[in-house]
Amino acid sequence: MMKFHGTTILAVTYNGKMAIAGDGQVTLNNSVVKHHARKVRRIYNDLIVVGFAGATADALTLSEKLETKLERYNGNLIRSAVELARDWRTDKYLRRLEAMMIAVDATQMLLISGNGDVIEPDEGAMAIGSGGIAAHAAATALLKHAEALGLSARDIVEQSMKIAASVCVFTNDIVTIEEFG
């Protein structure tokens, strides 16, 4: 059976600004089949950005479900995320979806998973996907020195994604970035 691998999604908040990035690589077994995939996108009147890792169709389904929840709860990201996670965990169809999602707005970032998790990070960075550990580690280090280095949230995301791409074979350096603030 052929299986799609990897993605790296990274969200960073710094100095009142938020940036979220996703790499563009899609692999099928041991082959790269796409370099410019868009795994980060705006939803709900461009007020929310979601980045997803996992099976593409599953991730898009979850993105649509989140947007429906946002419409129902007037853009309340936390309430919508909790309701999505609850449905995802309990619904027979949704339970089979294989993806994770980071959702951000101008003030908060959340990781949403099929285990029923809705997690807001303590620090200013959150990452998922095959290169997520490398991207998160790089962002955490850069956040500690961002003021001295003169970095913005976007700079931190760009540099961290380059580092992740240099160590993760399922992550490339063709990155989509969305920002708030």
> Two tokens at 51?
């980045």
3-state helix/strand/coil string of 46-101:
CCEEEEEEECHHHHHHHHHHHHHHHHHCCCCHHHHHHHHHHHHHHCCCHHHCCEEE
Active site residues: 7
Question: Is 26 in a helix, a strand, or coil?
Answer: strand
Query: How far, in Å, CA of 85 to CA of 109, rounded?
Result: 15
Q: Tell me if 3 sits within 8 A of 56, measured CB to CB.
A: no
